[in-house]
Amino acid sequence: MELQVPHQSSNRPESLEPLSSNASTAKEENEIQESEIQDIDPSVERRVRWKLDLTIMPLLTSVQFLANMAKSDLGNAEVAGLTEEMNLNSKEYSDLAIMITVGYLIFQIPGTMLIKKIGPPYQFGGAMIAWGVFTTCVVAAKSLGSLMALRFLTGAAESFIHGSLIYLSFWYRYNELATRGAFFDGTAALAGAFNGIMAHSIQVHLDGKNGWRAWRWIFLIEGCVPIAWGFVVFVFLPSSPDKMRSTSVFSPAEKEILIQRSQSAHNTGSSKIRPKAMLEVLMDPTFWMLAGIDCGVHVTTAALTNFLPPILDGLGWEDEKAQLMSSIVYACAFVNIMFCARVADKTNKRGILIVANCCVALVGFVMLLAITNDTTRLVGTCLIAAALMPCLMLVIVWLAMNFPGYSYRTSSIAFINVCAQLFGILGNKVYADPPYYRQGLAVSAGMTVMVGILAIGLLWRLRLLNKKKDLEKDSQNSLELSLLSIDEIGNKHPEFRYVY
């Protein structure tokens, strides 16, 4: 990412002389931070980054893995006897499927923006324990109403881990985020694959045990695990570099390097919520174009979470076989998530990857809508999942890199997640025509076209904005803005350059 911190000039225009003390201080701090960051020995930083990958990443990835298992367990429960025992028709199942998304929607903003105020270990660990309890309680549900209430509460609890990318940016530089973000985003695919295998085993070995159908065992097992693991996260996950104690893993000198790295990603802002920053995000066309991309992708990916096993059931693989086949689909998605993340970090390009993935997904939609052969349709399903699931990671990292500063970044991620959950509800509602779900697939295909067009448009817009900044870098307004910090004015800073 091309980002330079402005240096004070001794011959600035006379009209800029009466600087506020706050602006001067912010400018001096920026210069000091940049100097220190440039002086880090690459081999030492490499060692620190490796330690982060072995300590922070496994804990954070485990949180995402278990959350995605909880999100995708409903689809496996459907083919394990849920709809049959509870007498649910396709509309009632669709209504049940959206309740976890409604929980996300309502609690998304506080769940994202309070991460510094509450503290990541308390917020993530507490969320895991809460959703584990609600998931376990599903085994006692006897009506659609109780199922819907518990799924809503599960979504509400899970919304408090959706600030994971913000937490990652406390520890990693911009050019390291996509690969690391892919590890916990890729857990959505791994969790789906693992869920399918585990649900198959439960259905084969536990169906009927204790008088319970297999779907109740699925919720019981997948609820107990996050309850136990939540306490591990609560104890061992550090809050941030500046609040972390020096340990046998990180020495005091390495802790200082971690703090400098966090400053380079512009996370030095306070935990106080700034309404002005929130409003500025909502007034930025760049945000809404990124939101449109994320929303379009969510229509398909949210529906896949709940409807993939039923879709495969309609392709000819019934019951536990459908659960096993879903593992293949998610495994394909995981491979492409990791590939796209690595390419994005190496090339610093994200928009073009989104466009390319949209083209691949459209091939998959054509195969599902136009071909009746079951094997070919399975390949189409794999293409759709493998192409669109990486886009979720790419767009969020793209957003985080183009909205620097803690207040701007948390606001933009919170708002985009709210928008995405609204479209996730749409995705679940349009997949209401089993067994082939042609209506849902057609809507998803149209949304994918929209995503590709918006990505192309945003690539063009960001290039123009960078050219405009280059042309105006010596203007009076740019010189005035350069005296403020990036935490104060975000992507409006004259030395900031958009990444596309």
Locate the domains of the chain by residue range.
Answer: 21-242+254-492
CB 289 within 8 A of CB 460: no
More confident residue, 183 or 278: 278
Q: For position 468, what pLDDT does the model report?
A: 93
**Domain range 21-242+254-492, its CATH number among 1.20.1250.20, 2.70.98.10, 3.40.50.300, 1.10.10.10:** 1.20.1250.20
Q: What is the arithmetic mean of pLDDT over 179-186?
A: 77
**Is the previous residue joined to 435 through a cis bond, with omega within 30 degrees of 0?**
yes
Q: What is the arithmetic mean of pLDDT over 469-492?
A: 86
CA-atom Rg of the chain in angstroms: 24
Name every residue whose Cβ is closer than 8 Å to that of residue 347 and which is 6 or more positions away in sequence: none
pLDDT digits (tens, 9 = 90+) for 418-441: 898 888 888 878 887 777 788 888
Would you say residue 10 has pLDDT above 60? no
Which helix (H) or strand (E) is 339 found in, with range? helix 320-347
Distance, CA of 487 to CA of 151 (rounded, Å): 38
Joined together, the tokens standing for residue 255 give: 């802790």
pLDDT digits (tens, 9 = 90+) for 386-421: 999 999 989 998 998 899 888 888 889 989 988 988
Q: What is the arithmetic mean of pLDDT over 49-76?
A: 87
CB 55 within 8 A of CB 249: yes
More confident residue, 93 or 30: 93
Q: For position 448, what pLDDT does the model report?
A: 96
Range list of H helices, 138-248: 144-158, 164-169, 174-205, 214-236
Of 85, 65, 69, which is closest to residue 215 (Cα–Cα)? 85
CB 77 within 8 A of CB 93: no
Note the pTM of the prediction, 2 decimals.
Answer: 0.77
Helix and strand counts by DSSP (H, E) for the chain: 20, 0
Distance, CA of 481 to CA of 496 (rounded, Å): 11
Joined together, the tokens standing for residue 182 give: 């892919």
What DSSP letter does each residue of 255-305 carry, written as one string?
HHHHHHHHHHTT--S-SS--HHHHHHHHT-HHHHHHHHHHHHHHHHHHHHH
More confident residue, 205 or 182: 205
Distance, CA of 192 to CA of 305 (rounded, Å): 8
Residue 56 Ramachandran class (φ > 0 left, ψ -120 to 50 alpha, else beta):
alpha
∠ CA 170-176-180, rounded to 5°: 80
Q: How far is CA 412 from CA 117, 398, 447, in A?
A: 17, 11, 22
Q: For position 323, what pLDDT does the model report?
A: 60
pLDDT digits (tens, 9 = 90+) for 67-79: 888 887 888 888 7
Q: What is the arithmetic mean of pLDDT over 441-447?
A: 93
Q: For position 4, what pLDDT does the model report?
A: 37
- The confidence band for 273, taking pLDDT boundaries of 50, 70 and 90, is low
Q: For position 314, what pLDDT does the model report?
A: 57
Q: For position 405, what pLDDT does the model report?
A: 81
